[in-house]
Structure 1
Amino acid sequence: MADIRNDASAPAPAARRPIVMAVWLVIAGVIGWWAAFQLTIEKFAALEHPGTKAACDFSVLVQCTANLDSWQGRAFGFPNPIIGLACWIAPIVVGMAILAGARFAKWFWFLFWCGFVFAFGFIIWLMTQSIYAPNLHTLCPWCMTTWAVVIPSFYVVTLHLFRIGVFPVGEKGRHIADRLMAWVPLATFVSYVIILLLAQFELNAIVNILQTIGNSFR
């Protein structure tokens, strides 16, 4: 599976092992998998004890139950968290393999990126459903955790594919992608702000979340 010729033979940015990216992939994978695991546990509990309140139900706005019980929560005919349980293993394995010295073929990176394209598109759809769908109008804590790690992971993996030449942009384009890596935190922050503003305009989310936090300390 690993190919020792690809990244090692490429110029400048691609020749370096992407240690920071590898560490992030492991962290993101663990966080994403744990969020999926918690949602799966909540789903099992709801099936075993119908009508009970989920542990992540903090208010009418911030809750898991509405999302898990909705048709959007089983978009492919089974609970969405199962997708997370299966798929978040991939970035953990890839990240650990990079740290161990593995270098992957370009076709492998492309397939890995395709997984994040799907994840990114899927969470965008889930965000719009959570915020705008009449049967939801909720913000699921564990769902938001998943959104939070998918967004920067998609940016990082996309830029990495540019800088190692999977996408044919030339050496100059590869170096630009390498420099843009430093801007991923800012791009991620801007993405979070956009999501928060959308939720605020539609759901008055900021006030409701602050009230929820305040009530939890009483």
Structure 2
Amino acid sequence: MASVPQTERSQRPTGLAIFLIIAGLIALAAAFALTLDKIRLLEDPNAQLSCSFSVLIGCATNLASPQGAVLGFPNPLIGLVAWSVVITIGVAILAGAKFARWFWIGLNVGMLAAIVFVIWLIAQSIFVLDVLCPWCMVTWAVTIPAFLAVTLYNFTVGNLPGGASVRRVADAAYSWIFVITIVCYIVFFIVAQVNMDVLNRL
């Protein structure tokens, strides 16, 4: 992603809005697919899910585990609601909506909660459940850059506290979100490989 132009700082963050819509649609599709799979499992615990490819790659274990319903209901339902909100925010920005500072901070708090939740789920998948859920990984893959984009944008425009140096660093990092995200993916793969021997179990 390119750095935040000066015009976007004083007007609307069109680039960020488009990214939020695209990211939200991808994650929403993953949450919807997981919700359908959860329904199939409730109907038939022995159902063969389309996302289940092997003992290593599949959704059934995650969906049936306590980690798959942290708040007492299936995690995908959280995704259906949360990503719908993200898409709506992106569309609203494109339509000309300008949000107050408190709104952007609230969005960032939500994104922070999302990334913390995702990191926990990744850890549970790798170190506890010993299985990788394809649709879950799609959500993880989208959450990382979404968190980075919103956080760095907020630092850059001053929605989050920080001096001029912090804003300059955030502005520079904003244009490297793609690279930072790839590095995060690589770290995830290395951790998974070391603990799950992914390549030999595919």
Alignment of 1:62-73 (within 5 A): 62-73=57-68
Alignment of 1:96-107 (within 5 A): 96-107=91-102
Relative contact order (C-alpha < 8 Å, sep 6+): which is higher?
2
SS of aligned partner of 2:176? helix
Q: 1:40 aligns with which of 35, 41, 57?
A: 35
SS of aligned partner of 2:152? helix
Identity of aligned residues (%): 45
2-side partners of 1:58 and 1:124: how far apart? 23
Structure 2 letter corresponding to 1:19 = T
Structure-1 residue corresponding to 2:73: 78
Structure-2 residue corresponding to 1:156: 149
Alignment of 1:1-218 (within 5 A): 14-133=9-128, 136-209=129-202
Structure-2 residue corresponding to 1:5: none
Unpaired runs of 5+ in structure 1?
1-10, 210-218
Displacement, 1:172?
Answer: 4.1
State the structure with more CA Rg.
Answer: 1
2-side partners of 1:181 and 1:46: how far apart? 41
CA displacement 1:154-206 (0-9 Å, x = unmatched): 00100011012122223443233222211111110000000000000011113
Aligned residues: 197
2-side partners of 1:175 and 1:104: how far apart? 22
2-side partners of 1:130 and 1:53: how far apart? 20
Structure 2 letter corresponding to 1:26 = I
Q: 1:72 to 1:81 in 2, by over 3 A?
A: same
Q: Scaled by the length of structure 1, what TM-score is found?
A: 0.86
Whether the aligned pair in 1 keeps the contact of 2:8 and 2:14 (CA below 8 Å) is: no
Whether the aligned pair in 1 keeps the contact of 2:31 and 2:80 (CA below 8 Å) is: yes
Q: After TM superposition, where is structure 1 displaced by more than 6 Å over at least 4 residues in a row?
A: none
Whether the aligned pair in 2 keeps the contact of 1:32 and 1:149 (CA below 8 Å) is: yes
Unpaired runs of 5+ in structure 2?
1-5
Q: Scaled by the length of structure 2, what TM-score is found?
A: 0.93
Displacement, 1:50?
Answer: 2.3
Structure 2 letter corresponding to 1:194 = V
